[in-house]
Chains A and B, each alone.
Chain A
């Protein structure tokens, strides 16, 4: 809401250095995400994609660098505070609450909100977006299949009405058909103007759905640009798209 002209980025990451003990995981990572964009961060295992998201969401503290969200510095703030500012992370491995029902999981997604009527209408909206969640509303979330759990995790993150949704490997460990479904969901969300930062190992499909992309290698951004240009880049093709 604070950047109606869309010129100031929703999220700006500037020169991020992050360490795990003595090991440096990120080296001067900079990126930005504008309103309504779907930006993807691709790279191999251990390149620092998840580290980037964890740092932005407050689970890790950077040694140096800035994270600016809606023109407010948020680096080093606790996660629960960052969520309240409108930045939601749908974590790797889904992390739904298996012993709660699907509906209870969704309600927890709206934990930071108190507008009951709106929450209810958002829940209905999620059921429209993910029909499976309506079918399984009263079922324990642990009984859902992997793909259904991923849908629930995304819906739960959306229930906080984020101004930016960050997704960490939503296609991880899913059958090819379900991966297809997840990317269809992302395309739908983009059509609804949800601003998304997507981390994926599945570079081919991530670049198909994204507006822009960044390529991360051993903690450094080595390339960035429009998704289509990246998909056509010979180096990217060779390294991530199988030639």
Chain B
């Protein structure tokens, strides 16, 4: 296979995996580390994506500006974060002042309201969606002077780097947050709200902070996604997409960064690798005499079955998620594999406790 085909295929999946990791990490901050329950992460992701489309497509057309340039392109990222954060604030403040699961219902509502507004708004492209101009490619060809093929390759490498950089930025930001005194307050809220408040932790302030930060990071991932995909439409940000992110968080472990990354990669990669299954790999699905007896389906079409199967296995065998609330660490792994008996005994003792 030639290089460009490989790059197109694997490049695309690498970009998307990075976006998923970033989204799952920020959702884990809200649902896993803080113990809130958001069902609207796909909505904030969508807000970020639509902001990008509006800045690069709708605004120039409506206002009669020149075509969007590099400056607009760069502005989409902070703007997407800002607007998503704003929506996070609007949804979060009324719900997070109360105890209980109001947030789940409100965020579920928010995701659907956002989608329906997009479907019913002419200026947001209705259900057709909006296309996003390829500002970065134009920049590479016109300003840098790359020829078409080279620009295409450079663009793909750029988006791979960008999406993984955003995932890394999300990881570092959240890890540092959780290691700070704020992180300890957040953990305290998750473990026991009442006890946390009795120690002086301002519950509402921290919950809103976490929720808005999570929304902003989802918005950032949305800007990366929209710029890369060059197309946004309401059904990309449906409820089921949000459920997949939630499943990643639960499967990886509520409160583990490495678990989230592992689960995101796993859940993203399984359907991708299933597409390589030969057509002769079929499994019997059901019995229907009108179709000539037992009906078989190719493994390719069955990724949802694997998805459910993985979830069932994890929930049965590791209800706390792949990593629980622990983190993968090379140092610990080294000690466990090669350390002295007494040392490995003490680490496993800690882990079991």
Query: Interface residues, chain A, CB within 8 Å of chain B?
Result: 57, 59, 78-80, 83-84, 88-89, 91, 95-100, 104, 107-109, 111-112, 139-140, 143, 156, 160
Contacts of A98 in B (CB 8 A): 191
Other A-B contacts than A100-B188, A111-B201, 10 sampled, CB-CB below 8 A, are A91-B198, A95-B194, A99-B325, A108-B184, A111-B181, A111-B184, A111-B185, A111-B188, A111-B199, A143-B353
Contacts of A89 in B (CB 8 A): 198
B184→A80 contact, CB < 8 A: no
Q: How many A-B contacts if CB must be within 8 Å?
A: 63
A95→B353 contact, CB < 8 A: no
CA distance A184 to B157 in the complex (A): 69
Contacts of B201 in A (CB 8 A): 80, 111
For window 166-217 of chain B, which residues contact chain A by CB distance below 8 Å? 181, 184-185, 187-188, 191-192, 194-203
Contacts of A91 in B (CB 8 A): 194-195, 198
In the assembled complex, the CB of A51 is this many whole angstroms from the nearest CB of chain B, namely: 15
CA distance A160 to B200 in the complex (A): 9
Chain A to chain B contacts (Cβ below 8 Å), 22 pairs = A59-B194, A59-B198, A78-B202, A80-B197, A84-B200, A91-B194, A91-B195, A91-B198, A95-B192, A95-B198, A97-B192, A97-B195, A100-B188, A100-B191, A107-B184, A108-B188, A108-B196, A111-B199, A111-B201, A112-B199, A139-B353, A160-B199
A96→B199 contact, CB < 8 A: no
A83→B181 contact, CB < 8 A: no
Partner of A99, one of B191, B196, B200, B203: B191
In the assembled complex, the CB of A206 is this many whole angstroms from the nearest CB of chain B, namely: 22
CA distance A97 to B186 in the complex (A): 12
Contacts of B195 in A (CB 8 A): 91, 95-97
A112→B200 contact, CB < 8 A: yes
In the assembled complex, the CB of A61 is this many whole angstroms from the nearest CB of chain B, namely: 14
Can you name the residue of chain B whose Cβ is closest to the Cβ of A94?
B195
Of the listed residues B196, B200, B325, the one surrounded by the most CB atoms of chain A closer than 10 A to its CB is B200
Contacts of B202 in A (CB 8 A): 78, 80
Can you name the residue of chain B whose Cβ is closest to the Cβ of A139?
B353
Query: Interface residues, chain B, CB within 8 Å of chain A?
Result: 181, 184-185, 187-188, 191-192, 194-203, 325, 353
CA distance A109 to B185 in the complex (A): 10
CA distance A143 to B351 in the complex (A): 13
Contacts of A96 in B (CB 8 A): 195
B199→A156 contact, CB < 8 A: yes
Of the listed residues A57, A80, A84, A109, the one surrounded by the most CB atoms of chain B closer than 10 A to its CB is A80
Can you name the residue of chain B whose Cβ is closest to the Cβ of A90?
B198
A109→B199 contact, CB < 8 A: yes
Contacts of A143 in B (CB 8 A): 353
Give the 4 A-B residue pairs with the shortest CB-CB distance, closest first: A112-B200, A83-B200, A95-B195, A79-B197
Chain B interface helix/strand/loop/mixed: helix
Can you name the residue of chain B whose Cβ is closest to the Cβ of A83?
B200
Contacts of A57 in B (CB 8 A): 198
CA distance A98 to B202 in the complex (A): 21
Contacts of A99 in B (CB 8 A): 187, 191, 325
Partner of B198, one of A83, A100, A104, A139: A83
CA distance A88 to B198 in the complex (A): 7
Partner of B191, one of A84, A97, A112: A97
Can you name the residue of chain A whose Cβ is closest to the Cβ of B325?
A99
Can you name the residue of chain B whose Cβ is closest to the Cβ of A138?
B350
Can you name the residue of chain A whose Cβ is closest to the Cβ of B204?
A78
Contacts of A79 in B (CB 8 A): 197-198
In the assembled complex, the CB of A241 is this many whole angstroms from the nearest CB of chain B, namely: 31
Of the listed residues B184, B196, B197, B325, the one surrounded by the most CB atoms of chain A closer than 10 A to its CB is B197
A97→B187 contact, CB < 8 A: yes
B199→A108 contact, CB < 8 A: yes
CA distance A112 to B184 in the complex (A): 12
CA distance A39 to B195 in the complex (A): 23
Contacts of A80 in B (CB 8 A): 197, 200-203
Contacts of B353 in A (CB 8 A): 139-140, 143
Contacts of B203 in A (CB 8 A): 80
CA distance A28 to B280 in the complex (A): 82
Can you name the residue of chain A whose Cβ is closest to the Cβ of B181?
A111
CA distance A99 to B191 in the complex (A): 8
Of the listed residues B192, B196, B197, B199, the one surrounded by the most CB atoms of chain A closer than 10 A to its CB is B199
CA distance A108 to B181 in the complex (A): 9
Can you name the residue of chain B whose Cβ is closest to the Cβ of A153?
B195
Can you name the residue of chain B whose Cβ is closest to the Cβ of A159?
B199
In the assembled complex, the CB of B194 is this many whole angstroms from the nearest CB of chain A, namely: 6
In the assembled complex, the CB of A78 is this many whole angstroms from the nearest CB of chain B, namely: 8
Can you name the residue of chain B whose Cβ is closest to the Cβ of A59?
B194
Contacts of A59 in B (CB 8 A): 194, 197-198
Contacts of A88 in B (CB 8 A): 198
Contacts of B187 in A (CB 8 A): 97, 99-100
In the assembled complex, the CB of A159 is this many whole angstroms from the nearest CB of chain B, namely: 9
CA distance A160 to B201 in the complex (A): 12
Contacts of A112 in B (CB 8 A): 199-200
